[in-house]
Structures are given as C-alpha cells and as structure tokens.
Structure 1
C-alpha cells in the first residue's frame, strides 16, 4: 500500500531525480544544504511526531474522536444556530473541489462563476439589511463589528474618540470590539442604550437587532438622536429576523453587520462562518474587505471582477485602514445559494416557523422581554442551574445566564418535541392559546430572478455546475501563485468536516459534549509547536491577518507588562509580507521600513541604523522567512540577535512556512512569535478566497498574552480576536489528518520537493524570464520571481498580458506584480508532478516566443494573442476575424497539452467598473 505522502507529493522518485539533475544537486538533502543557511538547518526536528498513518487509519481515528462528541439539541443561541443545509449544496458545493480548491478571484476572466456567486451574496445582504452595498463577506460577526466601529470612526465628523455599545450585544462581539479599540485609542462605553444614549460626545453607536437576550428594540429614535449629536450608528442584525422585521436601512442606520451562519452554514464548533458588512452608497469608499463589482469585457459583455482593488490591504501597507486581506468566500457562497434555493418566501416561512416555536415557549414561560424573534430570556428565580441540568437530561442544551435566568434560542432545526422538552425542564405545561407577531417589515427583498430560478434540486445542481465551469480551480490545473501555496487538499483530509460529530457542535456547548474536537485542538497545538519550535499556540485567529494581529498584540502586552509602554516602533523590511504593516498600525505601532539590498536580502546596515535611531522605542521587527522575494537569507540569526539586543521582539510571518517544515524552526532560530497559515502549509483549502486559519505560536515568555475569550474559561479573559474561542474549529480536522498521515518524513519530504520544484522552474525559465532574486548558492526557496520588466520595456508586452495569455493555456497566472511591480511570483508546491511542471514551463516558453514576435514587429503591439487574451469560445467562433494571428493560435496555442479550458470572459475593463460601481446583481436586461 502506498504511503499517503506518496499520494500527496506529486513527483515520484524518478521525476525528483530528473529535477535534481537540472538543478545540479544529487539529493534533496544536498539541495536543502545549499538553499538554507547552515545555522538554521535541522533535519531531525520532527522526530517527536507520531509515525504516519494511512488514510483509512487516520479516518478511523477521526471517527473515534467524532464519537467522543455529544451532538445534543442546541438551543444556546448567542449568534450560533443549528441549520438544515440542503443536501444539494453539501454535495455540489461544500464537497466539490471545483468550489473548495479555487483561489481568490484576482484573475476574474477565469473566476466568473465564484464572482457571480459572491455577487449573489452581496445582493442578498444588501436587500435584507436595506443597505445599498455590501462586501463579499467578513471573517465572522465579531470582526465585522470591529470593522464597523473603525469605519464609523473614519466616516464620522465627530472629533470624539468614544463609541457607545449596547450591553445586549453578544459577549464575544463586545470582546472583539474592545480588543480592537484599545490599541488605537478608542474608548468603549457600554450601557443599556434602549434607555437612551449616555451623556457626552460619541463618534459612533453600535446596537444589536435582536440582542443576546432576544430583545427586539425599535432603534429608530436612538439612531435619530445619535445623528443629531454627530454620531453614526451600526446595527448588528440577524439576517433571518430581517425577513420579518424592519431592516437597519429602514431604521436609518449607517452600517449593518452580522453573520450569515444560519443560512445553511453548519455550527462547526464556531466556524468558519461568513460575516457581513453593508453600508449606504455614500460610505462605499470606507467599506473594508473585498467587493465584487460589475464591468464589461473586451467584447462589451457584462463581467464580474473585484472592484476598488487598490483598497486591498497588502497594497496599502501602513496606510491601510484594516488588515483584512481575505474573506469567507466558500461560506458566503453557501449562504447565498441557501437564499437562492429557498427564495424570499421560503426564507420568510423558515423565519415564521422559528419565531413560532419561540412564541410557543413564551406563552408558557415567564419571559423578561415581550418582543423577540427566536431567543427568550426566561425568569427562573434560584432555579436556572436546575432547569439547564434537567434540559440536558432530555438531550437539550440551554444557556445558563445567571442563577435566576435561562436563555433559550430556537432555530431552523427546532421541533415541537424540542419545545415540549424545554417546557418539561421548566416543569410547566404548554399553553397553545397565545400568539405572537413581530412582522414590521414592509420593504421587499430578494426580488432579483436569481432568487427564484433555482428552487428545484435539478435547477440548483445545474446552476452550480454552470458557475464552476467558468472557473479554474485546482481540480483543473496547477495554480502557481507565489506566497499562496496552492497544494493538494486531499479528500481524506476533507471527509470529516461534514460529519455531524464535528459540524453540529455549538461553540459554547458544555465541555463534556466536545471532548473529541478538543482532543483534535490539543493534538494540533502539540504538533504545530513541534513543527515550529515554539512553546505555546492559539488556534483562535481565523485568518492569517488575525494571526498577525494576535502576535503583535502579544508583543505589545508583553512590553506593557514590563512597564515599557514607550516601545511602539515596528521595523518592517520592504520584503516582508504585505499585510504586516497594516497589522502593526492596528496594534497601535508606528511602522519604520527597512531597506533591502539588490539581492533581495534585508540590508543589515540599514537595520542597525534604524535600531540605533529607535533603540528605546523598538517594539518588534516583522519579517517573512523565507522572504517574499523567495530566498533564504543567510543572516537571519544576526538579524534576530540585533533586534533582541535592543530589547525588541521578533515576529516571523509564517506565510512561507511551506519552505521550512522539517528543515528549520522559526521558534529556534530567533523568532518570538509567528502566525501559521493552515490554509497554505497545512492543506486547508482556500475556498475561492476563504476560509483560512491563522494560529499564532509564541515562545514561553509571550504565552500569558495569547488570546482569551469571555465564554471559554480555559483560555482566560484577556483580549479576544475572533468570535469563537477556537476560531474556525470545524476545519481543523483537515490539518489534523494531513499531519497525521504525512508524519515526520512525509512533512520534510513535502518541503524539500516544494523547494526542488521552485528551483527546477527557476533553472528552466531563467533564460527566458530572468529570476530576480536567488540565495547565496544560486538557489531560490519554495518560490521564484520572474522578472518581465526588461521584456516590457523592449516589447510593450506587460505582465498582465502574460497573465491573461496563460488563461488560454488553461493556467491560472502566478502572483502578478507583487512584491515587485512588473514580475510574476511562481510557487509550484510539492503536489504537482513533473508533467504538470513541464506543462507550465512549456506554456511560459511558448508565450515568450509570442512576445518575441511582437518585439520583432511580426505582430503589432495592440493586436496580438497576448494583447487579445484571454479568448472565449464565443470570440473564436465569431463570424468576423480581423486579427493578424489565427483563431487556432488564439485558442490552441503551442504548448497547450490538454483538453481546452475556456475562459469565462474576455479581458475585463477594471477602470470602467470602478468608475461605474455596480455591486449587486444587475437586471436580466443587462445580459441581452
């Protein structure tokens, strides 16, 4: 039986030998010795890991862990609700690699399917919230609330640094708001705002609809009062409730935020779930995150793209207003398809059923609030613990609020039997007479045909297939994106995430219900500290950006604990990962950029000068290792020592950890803290731009400053970065399975083959596209940067032309113009075999020959296959063809060695889309 590592690693032994021959080394170990500094190389560092398991052994172990969890009826609420995911969406979306292996739609011509699905999400959110524009999702509702707060601050004319938040916000949402506010000098004032705003000035007000107690408040008078006092208002609204009650837009709010979890996205012990953020059109330019917009392609047809891309935070660096550089795309698409499948009437029927079950309970119980949607706060003087325990005996989890109150939340999965069980726990009989109606919404929603056309399973199945056929994901070809690590997401890793034993756990369920998932968390904490050389780890951050932020907050808290509150300078080399500067600013630090030498290495002379300039104020340095330039810098130890000697801490960005696992440990060669991208190195799929997981790992002296959570006693009560205690816990079995099946030898081999693949591509393509940076021995790390700037200068062919032409070959382009404008950053990963590597190389060589034809005048600069790329089937089949290159050259270029993948659109006019911003579903007439 083949070891799993043989299935995961693309090249076999003979292919690896052939690659090493081209590189000029005789073994993978020899390559490692030439590429990495001798001072950090450690080939025995993973010996503490368990021996590799087979796929079936790992799945059997996961099944045992799932069986340790107890899936009782969840009526806890607090922003997390059981939901019934339509099976057609489970099979044809969640479990379909065409959807879950896709990447962020930076090349929109080959991403039209997922872009359309995200536009549906934006339209759904805009309609339900009564706002004019929504983004393509946030990490969760708590980070959406925090982003709403900073948006209010930017947009408000008030000079105040105070924000008022209602005491009935979910506790985890309050905690993340407070975490985000403190480093940047915002004062949070918490009060019962239903009684009126506190005295004094505020730039913003944040209220829930409904609140954690279930209470529905008519916030319109409070919003009017806030506006009269110069403050803006954000409303955290339940999307399902909004099918029945007046929307934030109807109430006059300035921002709406929340989660789409209950639209078919499983509980999953807290995530991943797609948060949302929506605003009126006047605040569009303040909206963080990604926005899908509508433009036209070269043939004048409507086409989708990411709008306003200059707001991408890795581009804006220290000028960024947020560090959000991702979304929860797969979950947002799932929620949008749930809305398409049920339609407005179906959603309203679900909401009425949910409210009806809550009303049955309210009729028989002593509730604190008379107006509610799905959640009740029930009086139980001195009996709350007894009632909760009795309900537990009936297999129902209620929420213990305090000795005198119990919280009960109904959801889509609540049945009459569940209602009867709750009433038995209270010792009361059902009163069937009482009725309740909360329907105050008068505005229409989800009127676009997309929310009525796919109401049968046949129609929905075909719609999902139609959309995925327009995209290139890993199920079609290699995605060689530098710094993104698009590797195999094996089915054996993915299988467990839809098991009820993991997917139907509430994040605040009793610890005794969640033994199995907590064991997975514990195993991962131990394995990941072994891999990285750190001492402690938190799995709470639900994206790499949040892991960065958590790491910097730990450094900040460490300095403050020592009385070093003056340490606020963060050094960041120009070669560091792009979001680093944004994270540093959010953590209250001031950024100083350190120069790099011509070879791409950090300039140690400039580093020492910057340290000398800021010695007393130095808080940290943030470095990416190996660097975003794709090299292992020899002087990494010296760099770390210089910062430590000045009293600073070293943050090592884990974006490129796929070049280190099994070879070197950042926690041992100078790092104090790193975040890890489980969606890169450790096989959680990118899902079209999310989900992600960004754990933060630290040395022991920083361990007291890892994230806490108000509802998870094992984590402490310090600052919080994500809504759920353990972040996106339901996808942790993916990484667990990967490490368990690879073992120490497999993990090390994966890293070495990734480095070999990058060096093979660099050697083969260097004569056509010079490799911009190499290390001391002429080696690159796991990625290489191809320099097209001289080609552009002499021929006029741009890096964008090459990227779009690759689509005609069936390839997703490498990372374009980052970190150096006019270049392509290529990362092949270890999962691609030699045939696929050669296919990509052949395509790049064929493109270079086409460039030469432009350069020598055979094709004009404004009419050639590169300028015209990509070519759709419709453009090739057009009656008229006036180009100097043939239809065959356009559609089937030399070097195309497999079945044709047709791009979904011609090249898209980005500038036009930004000038004429349309970010919801256009009318059907637009396509005629």
Structure 2
C-alpha cells in the first residue's frame, strides 16, 4: 500500500506561481509602454509625482505583514485556520437558522462570476437579469407580508428595524414625538442596534410586553417581534389598532418561514414589516452576509430606505425593469436623506428569491409545516418528561427554565448539539435554562436525539411521543392564519424541475453585464478582479455553517481570521485598532462618527456637534453625520477640486467650541491627492475636532501612504472595493473602521459577544463581526499579495488611470488634475460642452457605451454632466485601449452630429442602446446603418454583448410605480 504524503499541497509543488502576476493586468512590458506614453522613466518616479512627498512612504509595511505567496500556499494556510472552527449542529436560533442551499443555486448563482462580479444595476438596460431576480424578491416579500411596497434588500434584520424606527421618527418629527416602544421579546441584537441608532437622535426607547405598552401622543412608533425571541406567537391586532389610535406607526419584525403559514401582517394593519431571509437558503456564515427586507404601505414609498426595483417600459414599448425613484439617492439628498444606506445585499437577496422559485409556495409551506410539527412534538416530549413550560403558542422555538439546565447543555454538547443558553448572555456554567429552535434541517433522528438528552438529564425513561392529529388550527390556536392562495406568479410555479430551473437562472444571468464580459470602469467603485481562489473558501463548511452565537471555543478559526485581518488592515492604514463589525461602507461611516462622538463625550465635550463636510464628499457622508447626531456645515472646494483651506479655517474657527469632526475623502472625490492634507488635519485638530477619512478611494493609498500617519483619526475601509470582496450586483459589502490609539476603547461592542472597546459604542450590525462569512476573501487577497504586491497594485491602478486620462484628454477634457498634471486612481471626463455643441447628454454616451460592449463609468457624479473613470490595477492594456478606442469612436459620432452628418435627434447616441431585436427587425427606419448601430467596432462581429432592452423610460416607471410581479391571471391578460 502506498504511503500518503500528509504535507500540505503547496509543499508538494516544486514551482509556486505568483498570484500577483495574475491580479495585475499590466505586465512589465505594458507598464513600461504606459510610462513612456506619460513621459516617465519608472513606476516609483511616476508615483512620486502623484502622491505628496510628505505622506509618501518610502517602503511598504513591515512588522508582522506577510510576504506574498501562491494561491495554493494561501489556501493551505487558510484551510489550517478553517479547521480550527468546530461546526456543530446549532439549535440556538435568535434569527440564525440552519438551511439547505439547493445545489443548483450554490453552483449556478453563488459560485457564478456572472452573478457575483456585476455592479449595482444603475445601467438597467444591461442589468435585466439581476433586476428580475430582485423583482422576484420584492414580490416574495410583498406576498409574505401583505404590504405592496418592498425594497430590494437591506443589510440585516437589526438595521432594517432601525431604519423602520428612523422612518417613523422622520414622519412624526414635526409633532415632537420622541418615544419608541419595543417588544420585550425582540431579538437581543435588534434591541442593541436600536439603542445605538436611537441615542444620537434623542429617541426615547422603552421596552415592555406589548399588551402593557403605554400609548399616548408622545409615541411615534412601536416595534413588535412575531414570533418573538422565545418563539411566542399571538394576535397583535388589538395592539396595532390602539397604536394607530394615537397615530403611531407599527413595525413588525417577522420570520418569513412562519409568515408562510400566518395571515400577512399587512392584513392586520401593520405599517412596516422587516426581517431577514437568511433561512431561505442563505448559510449562517457566522452572522452574514444575509439579506434583510423592508416592506411598507404605498404611502411611504418615497421614504423607504435602500433601493426599489420598479417596472417601466423601454423605447420600443416593451416591459423593462430599473431602479425606481432614484432621486432618493443620498448623493442628491445629502443631509436631507432619510437613510445613509448605500449597499444592499443583492447577491443574498437573489439567492433567497431563487430559493423561493425553487421550492414554490407549496414547497415553502411544507418546510414551515415540518418545522411546526417537530416543535409540537418537542413540546409534548418536554411535558411528558415533566419540564415546566410557559403556556403559549409557538412556531419553531421552545424556551425552558429548569434546575437541570446545566446537565441538558452538557449532554447536548456530548451529542454535538448547541442549544440556546438562558438567560441570554450567560455562560453555559451559569445556565438557568435552555432554548431549542428547529429549522429546515431538523428531522426525526434529531428529535429523537433531543428526546434522549432531555430524558437522561431529568432521569426519566424515554417514551414514544406522537402527534396523532396534526392540525394547523389546533397547533396555532387563535392565531390569524393565511387563507388565500399566494405566490401565484409564474416565476414561482414554472421552474421546479432542475432543467427548467437551471435554464431560468442562466437566462437571467445572460442579460447582465459583469466583469466576465469586460471592464466596469466605475469611478469610486473599484471593480477589480475577484479571484476564484479568493472566493472558494466562503463555501467551506467551516466558514459557512457556523452560528454567530455558538460557544466561543468553537470559533477559534474565525477568531484567528479576524485577528489577522485587524492586524493587517491596521498596518496598512497606520492605525492602532480595527473593528470589522460594520457590514457596509455607510455603516462604517456611522460607526466611525459614533466613535468620535463617544470620545468627545468621555472628555465632557457634550456640546461638540458640528461636522465639517466638503462639498466634494461622498453623498452618504452628510446623511451619516445627521444620523450620528451632528449638524453638517459644508466646506467649499477650489477650482482644482481641492478643499478650500481658507474656507475650512474660517468655518473651523467659527465653530471652534462646537467642532466635533471633519469628514474628508482621500484622494478626493475629484480623483486627486490634495497636497495639503496634513494642513487640513492640523486645522481640525487645532480646534479640538477629529478627522474622519472616508476610505472609498483607498485603492490609491494601500502600500503607499497611511491615513493614520498623516493626521486622520478614523478611517472606514471598503473591503468590497479595495480588498476584493465582489460587489455581487449591489451587495454584499463590508465597511470596517480603523482608529487611532486614543479611540480604540470606543470601538463597537455586541450584547452576545466579546468584541469592541471597554467603553465601546453600541452594536452597529446584528452580528458581532458583521458579514464574517466573506472575510476569507480579503484574507486571501492580502495573504497572496503581500505588502510589496499591494504597493504594486496601488501604483498600477494610478498608472492605468493616468494612461486613460492622457489618451482621452484631447477628446474629453479631464476636469481635475493634481499639481503636476496627474490624477490619482480615477479621472473625471468633462462632457458638459457636448450638450451645447451637439445636444448630447452624459446619459447618451453611457447608453452608447453598451453598444460598444462596456458598462458606463460613474455618471454625473461628483459633477453633473461628467463621467468618472476608474480602471483599477486588474485590467490589461488591451482592455484599457479598447475602452479608449470606444470613447474616441463615440466622440467621432458626436462630431458627425456637429457637422450635420447625423440627425440631431435620430442618431446612434440618442437611440442607444440597440437590442438584437431592433437590429434584426424586418424594418429599419433609422438614418444610420444596422452595422453602425450594433457593431461600431469591427471585432464586435465575433464577440458581442447585447443589451436586453432598449433605453428605459424612467419617468414613466416612476409615474406608474409597479414593484412586484404579475399573478398568473394578470400575466395571461398581457
């Protein structure tokens, strides 16, 4: 018998190939060619012309930062970390449940780069696939809740509940109402996030049993949990009616699986329904990412947070989907925004929607009934064995307080089962009770194991327990139940064979442009390579199947992973501490500002409430500042796009005693390194303020300069931008914060985990480490790149951006440049003159780029009428040139309009994009050729991505808002 080689795979490979060479798109020859075009001798000299000398590091991070390595070596090392996690069967519940992701969804969605490398569907004509999947998601939520308007997902259940509280507060703000009443049976993480959100806004949070709520004209809203943390179900109709009598809005946090059986809460009069679809096929993943939902009445459609998919029509009169009511975006409303949410959980919402398509309404009902049946059997077991149970109607959970609780937990541990420890937050050794929550994975064998544990713990024999009369009404007495057919839309009833299901998934993804098709040159969004080796570990069971509140000794692998990332990110940014809890960039902004606020309060500076924000800042910055309780004071920018230092000094002086913080994006949102960033920080510190640095543009800094070293006190990092977590069609995201030493004590904590500082602010997200399940992606990226590789990546990102700026500047002037005529990692192309000379808008160019096989750069932000281009370090010279040639060719088309060769209104730009159906139609009535429309570049005849629909009429869709699918009856009438 041969002897097995037990050494790691990497140790058995003679030659280890470098990951760096695959991540960076420009080889050494291409780099030299770009440098020659730009007139520079070498890369280091080129970078020294861009990054201010007083902040440029001469060498990459030292200390404990690892050197780069191959994919195989990194995977081997991460596997050794993963196996330190002990994955046991967790029946803890508390909003996190075992679930079975259908294999077809796992393979064709979760692991399909066509789904996970797409961007937010702002360019809807090339995003119809994921828009339809999100439309299905919204339909599912509306059908579950009985509420007509549902958004396309939020971050997690706790933050969704906080968004509901904020909406209710904003609507009633003029009436001086400040009390918000919360169900005492609410999930603990939800209550923690509510407390964090409420305090800066002056909201008085009161927790009690709902039937004891003291309702009066000071109450603006209430939150119920149905079923409650304890599993309790009850009819809330009376409480809802009494709340409405005092004009308080009612929010209910629901379990979507329970809602399959229960009467839709909208039918009971609820104003807002929130929750998480984690148990619809999305792994627990140590707490995230998971898609939350937010459904409400139509009257609140303009206040609903996040994104909303609506149906409209295209230029050919065909149905088409797009994001509706986009004027609600934060970069337009700024400090008037109702929310700072900028990241959804699109990929997870898509998975959940396909889960519903896969099972259909009857399949979902079967799963819910199975869970209910096993819960009923468990109750009978407990009663038969003599355990004392509080009499109540339950769905999937039973909580028991008993003298033998410690023994129950001990025996469960021996069987490889985690139960909920009661009271919450206690250690097992201090347990006074236990909780058991069933889920989709529960079967008769598991119930028998629990029966044995409970019997042995109490010292009684096991007797068979059967439910002879399984009747829904008898198991859920006096509970309003669902009586009407639901989820009758074709999407949820026509794709139940795997053949049809697979074809449906592939038909949708074929309508989406992603990084598999070409560059997505979005400024400020950093659409770089999401390598397969980085994504592979998120499917490992050791990472995907762990409950976030499992005993701490079962998560040693995650603890190591978190420690590595916190350490590496701190080294890269020059800060002393990091929190990975914020699960989006917007949440990182909010967390960073709350940390600053807490520090001021600890020093007795309760009066510091002014936040200075440049007019060039990211749109979420002002909204985050208002959420954190600050008053926003804008700072102007000069003609070069830099912060006006004179205006900053003047405003800082005027508000000196109240100054709390400055929010600055660096490099600036205008795509340049402001030369006086140290002076900017010094001015703020001189007046007692703190500097918050928005790290959205960190891809120009990693390995080259450190925010913590040149004056920033807090920085949020977008792991879904700079550190390779894919955008997933608009989410998931991770937005950790890094802080200076004096702020470490204030990093966010969590009620059910040991994390954060000793004076930490409250929880920011539902899970202690936010979207922990995708942290392995960034770990792999950092481990494979190493410090030198990261420095190289930042340098090449700036080289590529300047190459594009140089090539396109003669055709589209670059709006902002640094002191030496160079940009940072992105450039802004000024298209505004084209409107005057040819009647061409920026949107016309964005749509025409689709015909050339490109996703448009960022449109009209931060300056209206411009395109902001960020190529990243991952694109090849061939792709950079292809984009430049497309833009130059479009400029020639615009010139033809100027000269009268094209009609001013009927030309390839105004009629773009051109669909396959339009080009192959029997009749062609346009004054330019079909070839010009569809194949503006010769090579496209062999490789063409076709837009799924023609140009969409957004205004029509907003006037005729449709946010869910047609039923079979409505479908047949079309």
The reply to whether residue 399 of structure 1 matches residue 391 of structure 2 is no
1:235 to 240, 252, 255: 252
Deviation at 1:367, TM superposition (A): 2.6
| Aligned pairs (5 A) from 1:755-766 | 755-766=798-809
The answer on whether the counterparts of 1:488 and 1:831 sit within 8 Å (CA) in structure 2 is yes
Q: Is the 8 A contact 2:544 2:773 kept in 1?
A: yes
Partner Cα distance (2:663, 2:899) in 1 = 45
1:904 pairs with 931, 941, 948, which one? 948
Question: Residues of 1 paired with 2:36 and 2:49: CA distance?
Answer: 14
Alignment of 1:428-439 (within 5 A): 429-434=462-467, 437-438=475-476
Give the match for residue 644 of structure 2.
Answer: 603
Native 8 Å contact 2:152 2:346 kept in 1: yes
1:203 alignment partner, SS class? strand
CA deviation vs aligned residue, 1:314-368 (integer Å, no higher than 9, x gap): 2211111110012000000000000000000000000011111111111111332
- The match for 1:412 is 440
Q: Tell me by how many angstroms 1:880 deviates.
A: 1.5
Aligned equivalent of 2:792: 749
Tell me which residue corresponds to 1:18: 33
Query: Structure 2 residue aligned with 1:700, among 718, 730, 741?
Result: 741
Please state whether the residue corresponding to 1:859 is helix, strand or coil.
coil
Q: Matches of 1:852 and 1:7 in 2, distance apart?
A: 39
State the shift of 1:385 in Å.
Answer: 2.5
Q: Distance in 2 between matches of 1:68 and 1:718?
A: 30
Partner of 1:917: 961
Q: Which residue of 2 aligns with 1:478?
A: 519
Q: Does 1:818 align with 2:846?
A: no
Give 1:347's aligned residue: 364
Q: Which residue of 2 aligns with 1:385?
A: 406
Which residue of the other structure, out of 668, 673, 677, is the alignment partner of 1:636? 677
SS of the equivalent of 2:657 reads helix
1:817 to 1:364, Cα distance in 2 relative to 1, 3 A: same
Does structure 1 residue 794 correspond to structure 2 residue 837? Answer: yes
Distance 1:593 1:896, change over 3 A: farther
TM-score normalised per structure 1 = 0.98
Per-residue CA deviation, residues 608-646 of structure 1 (Å, 9 max, x unaligned), is: 111111111110000000011000010000000010011
Separation of aligned partners in 2, 1:114 and 1:579: 24
Change beyond 3 A, Cα 1:239–1:775: same
CA distance in 2 between partners of 1:433 and 1:463 (Å): 41
Which of 567, 577, 587 lines up with 1:546 in the alignment? 587
Cα distance, 1:369 vs structure 2: 4.0
- Note the C-alpha offset of 1:835: 0.3
Residue 322 in 1 paired to residue 343 in 2?
Answer: no
Superposition misfits of 4+ residues, deviation over 6 angstroms:
none
- Comparing 232-241 with 55-64, greater Cα deviation is found at 55-64
Are the equivalent residues in 1 in contact too, given 2:755–2:768 (CA < 8 A)? no
How many equivalent pairs are there? 927
CA distance in 1, matches of 2:727, 2:938: 28
How far apart in 2 are the matches of 1:224 and 1:200? 14
Q: CA deviation at 1:198?
A: 5.4
Aligned to 2:348: 331
Q: Is 1:807 paired with 2:822?
A: no
SS in 2 for 1:866: coil
1-side partners of 2:213 and 2:612: how far apart?
45
Segments of 5+ residues of structure 1 without an aligned counterpart are: none
Task: Say if 1:522 and 1:302 are closer, same or farther in 2 by CA, change over 3 A.
Answer: same
Alignment RMSD, CA only? Answer: 1.4
CA–CA separation in structure 1 for the residues paired with 2:51 and 2:140: 50
Measured in 2, the distance between the counterparts of 1:211 and 1:547 equals: 29
Give the 5 Å matches for 1:707-722: 707-715=748-756, 718-722=761-765
Say whether residues 1:442 and 2:442 are aligned partners: no
Cα distance in 2 for residues equivalent to 1:762 and 1:692: 29
Give the direction of change, closer, same or farther, for the CA distance of 1:433–1:197 in structure 2 (3 Å limit): farther
Q: Is the 8 A contact 2:340 2:623 kept in 1?
A: yes
The aligned residue for residue 877 of structure 2 is 834
Is 2:100 the partner of 1:59? no
Whole-Å separation in 1 of the counterparts to 2:482 and 2:176: 35
Offset of 1:200 from its aligned partner?
6.5
Aligned counterpart in structure 1 of residue 229 of structure 2, from 203, 206, 212: 212
SS in 2 for 1:485: coil
Match in the other structure for 2:721:
680
Offset at residue 151 of structure 1 (A): 1.3
2:98 aligned partner: 82
* 1:734 counterpart (777, 799, 803): 777
Q: The residue matched to 2:394 in structure 1 has which SS? A: coil
Q: Which residue of 2 aligns with 1:855?
A: 898
Is 1:839–1:895's contact at 8 Å kept on the other side of the alignment?
no
Q: Alpha-carbon deviations, 1:115-146, whole Å to 9, x = none?
A: 00000000000000111110000000000000
Distance between the aligned counterparts of 2:801 and 2:773, measured in 1? 32
What is the CA–CA distance in structure 1 between the aligned matches of 2:908 and 2:153, rounded to whole Å?
36
From 390, 396, 403, give the equivalent of 1:368: 390
Decide which of 473, 494, 505 is 2:546's aligned counterpart: 505
Q: Distance in 1 between matches of 2:91 and 2:899?
A: 71
Who is 2:632 aligned against? Answer: 591
1:277 to 294, 299, 322: 294
In 1, Cα distance between the equivalents of 2:904 and 2:497?
A: 49
- Offset of 1:546 from its aligned partner? 0.1
Supply the distance in 1 between the matched residues of 2:775 and 2:657 (Cα, whole angstroms): 41
Correspondence 1:98-177 to 2 at 5 A: 98-156=114-172, 159-177=176-194
Instruction: Name the SS of the counterpart of 1:26 in structure 2.
Output: coil
Are 1:875 and 2:875 an aligned pair?
Answer: no
In the alignment, the residues of structure 1 paired with residue 48 and residue 89 of structure 2 have an alpha-carbon distance, to the nearest angstrom, of: 55
The residue aligned with 1:469 is 510
Q: Note if 1:527 corresponds to 2:550.
A: no
Unaligned runs of 5+ in 2: 1-15, 383-387, 424-430
For residues 871 and 319 of structure 1, do their structure 2 counterparts lie closer, same or farther at Cα, with a shift above 3 Å needed?
same
Q: Distance in 1 between matches of 2:130 and 2:965?
A: 13
Task: Work out the CA distance in 2 between the residues paired with 1:927 and 1:654.
Answer: 51
5 Å-filtered alignment, 1:564-575, equals 564-575=605-616
Deviates more, 1:566-575 or 1:363-372: 363-372
Give SS of 2:302's match: helix
**Are the counterparts in 2 of residues 314 and 582 from structure 1 also a CA contact under 8 Å?**
no
Which of 209, 212, 219 is residue 192 of structure 1 equivalent to? 209
| Aligned 8 A contact 2:748 2:755 in 1 | no
Q: Which residue of the other structure, out of 930, 934, 941, is the alignment partner of 1:887?
A: 930
Report the CA distance between 1:383 and its aligned residue: 2.2
Say whether 1:94 aligns with 2:135: no
2:269 and 2:401 map into 1 onto residues whose CA distance is 33
Whole-angstrom CA distance in 2 between matches of 1:827 and 1:671: 24
| CA displacement at 1:23 relative to structure 2 | 1.3
User: Deviation of residue 884 (structure 1)?
Assistant: 1.1
- Deviation string for 1:812-841 (max 9, x for gaps)? 000000000000000000000000000000
- Counterpart CA distance in 2 for 1:584 and 1:718 is 16
1:437 CA drift (Å)? 2.1
Show CA shifts across 1:660-681 (max 9, x none).
Answer: 0000000111110010000000
Structure 2: distance between partners of 1:98 and 1:927: 33
Q: Determine helix, strand or coil for the equivalent of 2:910.
A: helix
C-alpha spacing 1:151/1:443, structure 2 compared with 1 (3 Å): farther
Q: TM-score, normalised by structure 2?
A: 0.94
Q: Distance in 2 between matches of 1:896 and 1:670?
A: 50
